[in-house]
Amino acid sequence: MSSISIIGTGNMARTIGARAIAGGNTVEVMGRDHSKAADLAKTLGGGTTAGEWGTAPAGDIVIVALLYDGVVPVVAQYGDALAGKVIVDISNPFNSTFDGLAHTAQTSIAQEAAKVAPAGSSVVKAFNTVFRHILEKGRPDVFIAGDSAQAKAGVEAFITSLGMRPLDVGGLKMAHWLEGAGLVTVGLANHGVGNLDFALGVTELPA
C-alpha cells in the first residue's frame, strides 16, 4: 500500500482519492483553501487527512491534481517541500481545438515540472489518457513515463492497488507523447468511438 498526497480539491482529486482509499492506501489532500481540503478529506473518509498548502506532503507519492497551467507554478511554489517525493503529473495541456498542445515546443507539463522540482524528487506522468468517469469505476490501462525506475515502480504499485494496469512507456521525454495520446483519446471520443466509455490501452494480439 502507498502513502499518497493529492494537491488539489477538484473532481480529479476526489476521483483519485476515492479509488486510493478503496485500494487501501493512506491519503492526504491539500488545497489552497484549507476548508475545501478538510471537506474533501471528510468526504473521502478512510482516515484521509488535510495537509497545509505549501508544506511538506505526508505522502511519498504526490499527485498534482490541478488544471494544467497550475501544475508547474505549484511545484515551484512547494519547492524544497517536495524533496524526496515522487511527483505525479496527470494533466492534459490541450489547445482549444483539441488537436494540439498548449505548448508548441516538444515538451510536456511533466518535463517542465521536473525543471522546477527540487533535487531528490522525481516526476512521473500518469493517468492523463484516462477519462475521469473511467477512473471512477473502470479498470483501465494507465500509461506512465518517467526517468526514475524507482519512482515508476512506486507509481506502478499504487496504480495496481487501484485495480488498474500500469504500463510504462519510457523516459520522461515520452510524457510529451502521452499528452499527445490524451489528444488521440479525445479524438477517438469525438470521432471513431463516439462516446466516452472506453480507454486507450493495449490489446494482446499474438501474431
Binding site for a second copy (CB under 8 A): 98-100, 104, 106, 131, 133-134, 136-141, 143-145, 166-171, 173-174, 176-178, 180-181, 183-184, 187-188, 190-193, 196-207
The Cα 7–Cα 14 span in angstroms is: 11
| Shortest Cβ 170–a second copy spacing (Å) | 4
| Shortest Cβ 83–a second copy spacing (Å) | 27
| Shortest Cβ 200–a second copy spacing (Å) | 7
Q: Please report which residue ranges of 93-174 form alpha helices under DSSP H.
A: 109-116, 132-137, 149-161
| Shortest Cβ 81–a second copy spacing (Å) | 30
Angle at 132 between CA 129 and CA 136, to 5 degrees: 120
* Three-state secondary-structure class, residue 53: coil
Q: Is the Cβ of residue 35 or residue 95 nearer to a second copy in the bound state?
A: 95
Q: Is the Cβ of residue 22 or residue 193 nearer to a second copy in the bound state?
A: 193
The Cα 37–Cα 27 span in angstroms is: 12
Q: Is the Cβ of residue 58 or residue 186 nearer to a second copy in the bound state?
A: 186
Centre a 10 Å sphere on the Cβ of residue 194 and count the other Cβ atoms it contains. 10
The Cα 62–Cα 83 span in angstroms is: 11
Q: Is the Cβ of residue 11 or residue 35 nearer to a second copy in the bound state?
A: 11
Q: Is the Cβ of residue 37 or residue 101 nearer to a second copy in the bound state?
A: 101
| Shortest Cβ 40–a second copy spacing (Å) | 21
**Strand pairing of 141-146 and 122-126?**
antiparallel
